[in-house]
Amino acid sequence: MVFAPTHLSNCDMYRSPLQARGWRVGFWANNTSEEQALRTKVAIIGAGPAGLLLGQLLHRHGIDNIIVERQTPDYVLGRIRAGLLEEGTVALLDEVGAGARAHREGLIHHGVELAFGGARHRIDMHAATRKTVMIYGQTEVTLDLMNARQAAGLTTVYQAVDVKPHDFDTDRPRLTYRKDGVGHEIACDFIAGCDGYHGVSRASVKPPAIQTFERIYPFGWLGILSETPPVSRELIYSNHARGFALCTMRSMRRSRYYLQCPLDDDIAQWPDDRFWDELKRRLDQKAVDELVTGPSIEKSIAPLRSFVAEPMRFGRMLLAGDAAHIVPPTGAKGLNLAASDVHYLSQALREFYDEKSEAGIDAYSARALTRVWKAVRFSWWMTSMLHKFPDQGEFGARIQFAELEYLVSSKAASASLSENYVGLPL
C-alpha cells in the first residue's frame, strides 16, 4: 500500500479507520509477475515511529527515502505502546512539522509521584532540571508522522512480505520484498533497520558480527486502557508488597493502568473487576478514594526485558530503535531512545551526503550506544527498585524501602532520578 495523494489514480478505494481521519488509501493495481526495480538513497525497513521520523528528517534535508512495512497502517496504529515524550523527542517532531497536535493535546508533567509505605511522595523534576515531559500516546505520534509523510507525497509500501536486506557489507546494498505476488527490489546507498525487536534487519546479520546482552525479568505488566479520568494529574509509581502498580493516562479522559503480574498469567484470568480490586490494594488510600473505574477498552500482558545488540552498524545497514535495544517500560525510555537513535543517524547521513564524509556513519554506533546504555541502566534501576522479585525476601524488601526513602529525602538523589527521567542530553 502506498500513501501518496497525488499518485493514486489507478487504484480501488476502500473505507478504513484511517480514511475516517482524512486518509486516502489505495492498493497497487499491478498483477504482473515481472520484478519491479526502484532506486533511492536510504531504504528504511519499518513504518513505526522510528522509521517514519527518520524518513521525515531525511526528507527535510533532501535525502530520498522509501519505507517498507510488512503490516497494514491500521495494524501499526492499533499497537498500544508508550505515552511519555522527552523534550528532545518533541523537538524532533517539531523539526519535521509533526508536533502541532502534540502541543495542543499533550499533557505537560513537571513531576512524578512515588508511593510506598502507604504514602505518596512527589519528585519535582522541573525544579531539579528545568525540564518537563509530555504525555502523548505513541499511537498519536505514529499517526502524526504518517500524516506528515502523506502530505509530503513520500512513498511508504505497506503489506510488503519476504522483506530481505542484501549486500549491506558492500557499497551497493539492496532490499527485496514481495507485494501482491510481485517481486520488488530497491537499490540504495544505505539500509536503515527500524523494524523492531522481531524484525528482519538484525536477524540478517551473521552471528559472529553481533553481540547481544539481555536480562529477562521474572514478571510481566498487565495493562488496561479505560475511558475514565486519571486518578492523579501526574504519574504514580507504586512499590507494594503485592507487587508494582503504575497509574498513568493518555488524556484527562482516558487512563492507562498497570499491575505487575506473573508471566504465565492469561488475560482471561483478569476480568475488569478483579483488575480494579487488585489495583486498589496496591495504592494509597487517597488514590483509592479518588479512583474512577470503568470497562476496559484494551487489555494486554507484556513481558519485561533489557536487551542491547552491539554494534548498531553493519557496513551500509544501520539499526535504530527496538531493532537494536529494548528497555522495560518502567523508565519510559523506549520511544525516546528510538528518537535519539534516529537523530544521530539522520545527522550521520546528512554529513555523508552534504560533506562527503563517512565520519558520522563510522561514529554512529558508539555515539548511540553511549546514550542507550545509560537509559538501560536507568530503566533497570527503576524496575529493580519498584517491583517485587521472587527471590528478594525481607532483606530485599527493606533495601527497596531504604532506597525509596533516601530518594525522596535527598535533593541529590531526586535530582539524579529527575535528570534521567526527563532525558539526558542528545
Tens-digit pLDDT profile for residues 173-229: 999 999 999 999 999 999 999 999 999 999 999 999 999 999 999 999 999 999 999
Is 9 buried (19+), middle (13-18) or exposed (0-12) by CB count in 10 A? exposed
* Chain centre distance of CA 229: 24
* Chain centre distance of CA 138: 7
Half-sphere exposure of 421 (CA within 13 A, CB side): 27
What's the CA gap between 98 and 77, in Å, rounded? Answer: 16
Question: Which triple of cell numbers denotes residue 76?
Answer: 501499526
Find all residues with CB under 8 Å of 282, minimum gap 6, and list them: 238, 240, 242, 243, 244, 245, 259
List Cα–Cα distances, 68 to 150, 221, 396, 418, in angstroms. 14, 31, 47, 37
For residues 13 and 24, is the Cβ–Cβ distance under 8 A? Answer: yes
Which residues are tagged catalytic?
109, 237, 329, 333, 421
Of 115, 114, 122, 111, residue with least CA distance to 282: 115
- Residue position matching grid coordinates 504518517: 146
Residue-level pLDDT, tens digit, the chain, 426 residues:
333 322 222 222 223 445 445 443 333 323 333 456 799 999 999 999 999 999 999 999 999 999 999 999 999 998 777 789 999 999 999 999 999 999 999 999 999 999 999 999 999 999 999 999 999 999 999 999 999 999 999 999 999 999 999 999 999 999 999 999 999 999 999 999 999 999 999 999 999 999 999 999 999 999 999 999 999 999 999 999 999 999 999 999 999 999 999 999 999 999 999 999 999 999 999 999 999 999 999 999 999 999 999 999 999 999 999 999 999 999 999 999 999 999 999 999 999 999 999 999 999 999 999 999 999 999 999 999 999 999 999 999 999 999 999 999 999 999 999 999 999 999
Question: Which triple of cell numbers denotes residue 369?
Answer: 550506544
Q: Do domains 19-84+140-212+306-377 and 110-131+217-304+388-422 have the same CATH topology?
A: no
Write down the domain spans for the chain. 19-84+140-212+306-377, 110-131+217-304+388-422
What's the CA gap between 130 and 425, in Å, rounded? Answer: 13
pTM of this structure: 0.91
Class of domain 19-84+140-212+306-377: alpha beta
List Cα–Cα distances, 290 to 129, 170, 356, in angstroms. 30, 60, 60
Domain 110-131+217-304+388-422 annotated CATH 3.30.9.10: yes
